[in-house]
Structure 1
């Protein structure tokens, strides 16, 4: 009777300390393992269960990427079957349990804890799925370029990537956004860089790169490309030229400027010597400037 109370007390206390074996097996399954070794009425069930807990305690801190959770479950499910076979073969539990823990070690080292420290993973110490504390989506980066420049976008990260990853680039034209439904596929392959040469006004918008391993998305990065056309700079140069023509030079009084103002086109043409070389040049310059201004306004 005392052994029954001791067993109940052990089960109550051991439930506070979890490990992978406890995550993927029930109390009834673990008790049945010990019954295979010791029989149903043995007073040593508590000692056997404690040996199980001690042997698999080193695996308490295991955490794996979510896509490998099924492999982890399968590994510890096989442990129960392995121990039941050893019990039926009359192998002592204090010999079989450490052997089973050693077999688990061979499989666990093949599993990955996840590429990012904060990635979504499964933790054996709590038997829970833990989501990353930071978003997988990185903040948007603004990139400013002039039309005709070369734009180079790099999807680099501050952690080591696995050997086999895929990269998907997407584009949201003229938008500054991180809503994935607004993007269209641009490229799918293995390149983490995107080269735009030359950069045009039609390239303005948000670019996103997505790095993934199998079905696990490791990171998304966003770049907003703001393209400035060179016509803006030309328009400013033209405005400066007009100001220099219209504004009086230093030391000249306003009435002198008004008195010596440029004649109109009709006045120039009506003069007898209107085809003089100087007047022709002024006429051509005036027409050229007017044409440039009208072209810029039309753009």
Structure 2
């Protein structure tokens, strides 16, 4: 109880520091082999016998107990491996020079501490869902890598739209996606069902990209739409949008008129259901995310072509005019 009382009085920041600096020399075991450590201590012990070798190994372990049992950015593993390899070579040189391992090991641990402090930080996990490869970290105490412990399925987002209006779904996540080989696929669970059970969904093959819309919205579109984000065919996240269609039919319409319009306007597009977003020029200018480098280049090319055509027409007009005179 006294120990618990003592811990409770430690400020949270200091407590976090103590936890991160717990007794952990596991990084040493991950990035060096037993043979390397044993051979190094043999060089220091020379003919002093196995007892001196054991003392050297114990000192090696003790020197690195002050290092953090940290979660290392997965991309920094090779850099840390190189640093440990260079450390072993430096210790071998010190052993050949007949230095003292009681002094050499703490100095080496301090140098490794500096290297570790310069590594890129681990990216935080962004809730509530998704396979976040950018946040992958390497655990020294287990000598393995791990991802964020988050589900693949995201919570259902509610979207309410009046009948006859437009419904737009944006398939984006808050964490960073890989820069290449990202694909999007859409599915629909009809009948006004609000669900994340994949067995109720059917593919909507015509819908592609991270933006999709339905226009005009009709009651039959009530249900759950799902977007699956994949990287190289591996699912990264599944987003869900529950579409609730509200409002009565337009004034003056009879049931027969409604049915006739459904047949004329929607029958050819029933299989399509949801369409990809094809922005107009006005939407491009009002939506910053649509102004991609490709779209900007296309706009610049169109503007340059229009200017060249106007210049050519003006030159031809003046040439005709003055030649006639």
Q: TM-score range by the shorter chain?
A: 0.5 to 0.7
Aligned equivalents of 1:154 and 1:117: distance in 2? 16
Q: CA RMSD in A?
A: 4.6
SS of 2:161's partner is strand
SS of 1:108's partner is helix
Are positions 1:53 and 2:56 aligned together?
A: no
Q: Deviations along 1:147-173, whole A, 9 cap, x unmatched?
A: 42463647454xxx67x9759572314
2:249 to 217, 220, 234: 234
Q: Deviations along 1:3-36, whole A, 9 cap, x unmatched?
A: xxxxxxxxxxxxx975111122233321211222
Aligned equivalents of 2:235 and 2:123: distance in 1? 9
Aligned equivalents of 2:252 and 2:81: distance in 1? 73
Alignment of 1:236-251 (within 5 A): none
Aligned partners of 1:18 and 1:126 also within 8 Å: no
Match of 1:145 in 2: 161
Are positions 1:35 and 2:23 aligned together?
A: no
Are positions 1:126 and 2:126 aligned together?
A: no
Alignment of 1:153-168 (within 5 A): 153=170, 155=172, 157=174, 166=179, 168=182
Q: Deviations along 1:24-72, whole A, 9 cap, x unmatched?
A: 2233321211222231434432332222112211335111243433333
Aligned equivalents of 2:123 and 2:144: distance in 1? 15
1:170 to 184, 208, 224: 184
Aligned equivalents of 1:106 and 1:56: distance in 2? 13
Aligned equivalents of 1:20 and 1:183: distance in 2? 49
Residues 290/224 of structure 1: CA separation in 2 closer, same or farther (3 Å cut): closer
Aligned equivalents of 1:48 and 1:209: distance in 2? 53
Match of 2:298 in 1: none
Are positions 1:205 and 2:225 aligned together?
A: yes
Match of 1:113 in 2: 122
Q: Deviations along 1:71-104, whole A, 9 cap, x unmatched?
A: 3333323322221122123332223222322332
| Residue ranges of structure 2 left out of the alignment (5+ in a row) | 1-22, 128-134, 190-194, 265-325
Residues 40/21 of structure 1: CA separation in 2 closer, same or farther (3 Å cut): farther
Match of 2:241 in 1: 224
Match of 2:83 in 1: 75
Aligned partners of 1:145 and 1:199 also within 8 Å: no
Residues 221/68 of structure 1: CA separation in 2 closer, same or farther (3 Å cut): farther
Aligned equivalents of 1:169 and 1:91: distance in 2? 59
Match of 1:295 in 2: 260
Residues 292/221 of structure 1: CA separation in 2 closer, same or farther (3 Å cut): closer
Are positions 1:94 and 2:102 aligned together?
A: yes
Aligned partners of 2:43 and 2:95 also within 8 Å: yes
Q: Deviations along 1:183-202, whole A, 9 cap, x unmatched?
A: 878448xxxxx585967579
Alignment of 1:238-277 (within 5 A): none
Q: How many residues align?
A: 219
